[in-house]
Amino acid sequence: MNRELIKDAVNETICRILPEIGPLDDGQDLKEDLGMDSAQFVNLVIDLEERFNLEIAERDILKLKSVGSCIEYLTEKVASGEC
């Protein structure tokens, strides 16, 4: 799976959780820019784990601050063969 497919999957997942959000940009902060609350963030993590068949370690959850950081994190995981 390449970066563009991962980006599409992340964007689709975020838009499902936050349907009122318009077009997404990699630089958008999940909390500050998109208004994602903690429950929605937990749903995002769970959805991404299920979609990519991986477990996001607790220490890595704090890395998922923006749309782009989610994409980069998952791209690294896919490249390393962890999912």
pLDDT of residue 81: 83
Q: How high is the pLDDT of residue 36?
A: 97
Residues marked as catalytic: 37
- 43-53: average pLDDT: 96
First-to-last C-alpha distance (Å) of the chain: 10
Q: Count other C-beta atoms under 10 Å from residue 20's C-beta.
A: 7
- The domain defined by 3-79 folds into 1.10.1200
Per-residue confidence (pLDDT) for residue 83, from 0 to 100: 65
Q: Is the pLDDT of residue 28 over 90?
A: yes
Q: How many angstroms separate the CA atoms of 19 and 34, rounded?
A: 11
Report angle CA 49, 45, 72 to the nearest 5 degrees: 80
Residue 64 in this model has a pLDDT that exceeds 90: yes
